[in-house]
């Protein structure tokens, strides 16, 4: 995580340090420049305003007078925002699990599913994948490559077939093989929300009917490089589905990692995993304290 956040940290910390070095005392001009540094790191306007409000309060109550001490104060505030949600594991032990993965094209959804499958297989879980994103060209073939790479079976139909039918067959296969985990790649077409809603509702009904004993999670995959746009994507998806958690990819390729803080504060949906590299092991469970520490250059 530390190396994956290098671009964000360099921009964010560099800007914060520059601001703090330029002031001998804490005043309104200092606050304004700090505010700008947070917005530039893509924390978002609303989250930045909240952080600044908390910072002013902290300066008063803790009688902070040195500009240099504001860095630790900021870290404490940001850690507080990131740890507001309780992190629960994706998989419940002792019962079957179904994960529906949604997300617009290009966010790294299929790759993320492959990495999740690999991780759970390494933990000796019995995993099966279902290729229910049947309308995106080459989505099934792409998932097959990841299934082969991870050494897990894939349930698939022809391109253009009914996604819910694939989920149904996935459940049948998961039951017959006594799988711990069924991961379903599902559509991410936001252009036609009505169709997407119907599709996800149909899948949900099939899971409830055919697999009522299973623990179900709906995860949305977001591309961190889109920064604040990622927040609006979740808002739209939340209109059509009950989103249980977020997987944030490509954090290593952006200076917009501050968006994680905005996402945690604004959306009331916990970040479950973050992607900090290309390798199969570079998808990590999200550790809020470690993230805040990595943002502030503490190994």
| Binding site as annotated, residues for GTP | 103-110, 185-189, 249-252
Cα 49 off chain centre by:
23
Q: Which residues contact 243 (CB under 8 A, 6 or more apart)?
A: 102, 218, 219, 220, 234, 237, 269
CB-CB neighbours of 88 under 10 Å: 12
Tell me if residue 90 falls in helix, strand or coil: coil
Structure token digits, residue 149: 């790479």
25 by Cβ neighbours in 10 Å (0-12 / 13-18 / 19+) ranks as exposed
CB-CB neighbours of 150 under 10 Å: 21
Whether the CB-CB separation of 269 and 243 falls below 8 Å is answered with: yes
Secondary structure (DSSP) of 196-254? HHHHHHHHHHHHHHH-TTSEEEEEEEEEGGGTHHHHHHHHHHHHHS---EEEEE-GGG-
Whether the CB-CB separation of 27 and 66 falls below 8 Å is answered with: no
Structure token digits, residue 71: 């860095």
Backbone phi, psi, residue 83, to 5°: -95, 10
Instruction: Detail the residues annotated as belonging to a binding site.
Output: 103-110, 185-189, 249-252
């Amino acid at each position: 995580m530390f190396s994956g956040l290098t671009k964000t940290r360099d921009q964010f910390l560099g800007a914060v340090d520059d601001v703090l070095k330029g002031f001998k005392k804490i005043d309104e001009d200092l606050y304004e420049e700090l505010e700008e540094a947070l917005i530039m790191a893509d924390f978002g306007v609303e989250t930045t305003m909240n952080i600044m409000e908390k910072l002013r309060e902290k300066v008063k109550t803790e009688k902070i007078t040195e500009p240099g001490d504001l860095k630790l104060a900021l870290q404490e505030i940001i850690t507080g925002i990131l740890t507001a949600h309780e992190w629960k594991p994706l998989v419940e032990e002792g019962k079957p699990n179904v994960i529906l993965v949604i997300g617009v094209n290009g966010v790294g959804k299929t790759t993320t599913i492959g990495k999740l499958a690999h991780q759970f297989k390494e933990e000796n879980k019995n995993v099966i994948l279902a290729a229910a994103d049947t309308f995106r060209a080459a989505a099934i073939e792409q998932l097959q490559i990841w299934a082969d790479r991870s050494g897990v079976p894939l349930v698939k139909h022809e391109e253009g077939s009914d996604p819910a039918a694939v989920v149904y067959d996935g459940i049948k296969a998961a039951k017959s093989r006594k799988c711990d985990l069924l991961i379903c790649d599902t559509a991410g077409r936001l252009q036609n929300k009505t169709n997407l809603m119907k599709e996800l509702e149909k899948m949900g009904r099939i899971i409830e009917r055919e697999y009522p004993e299973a623990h179900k999670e709906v995860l949305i995959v977001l591309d961190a490089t889109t920064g604040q746009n990622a927040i609006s994507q979740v808002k739209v998806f939340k209109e059509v589905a009950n989103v249980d958690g977020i997987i944030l990819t490509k954090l290593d390729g952006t200076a917009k990692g501050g968006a994680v803080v905005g996402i945690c504060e604004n959306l009331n949906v916990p970040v479950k995993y973050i992607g900090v590299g290309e390798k199969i092991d570079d998808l990590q469970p999200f550790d809020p304290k470690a993230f805040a520490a990595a943002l502030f250059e503490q190994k």
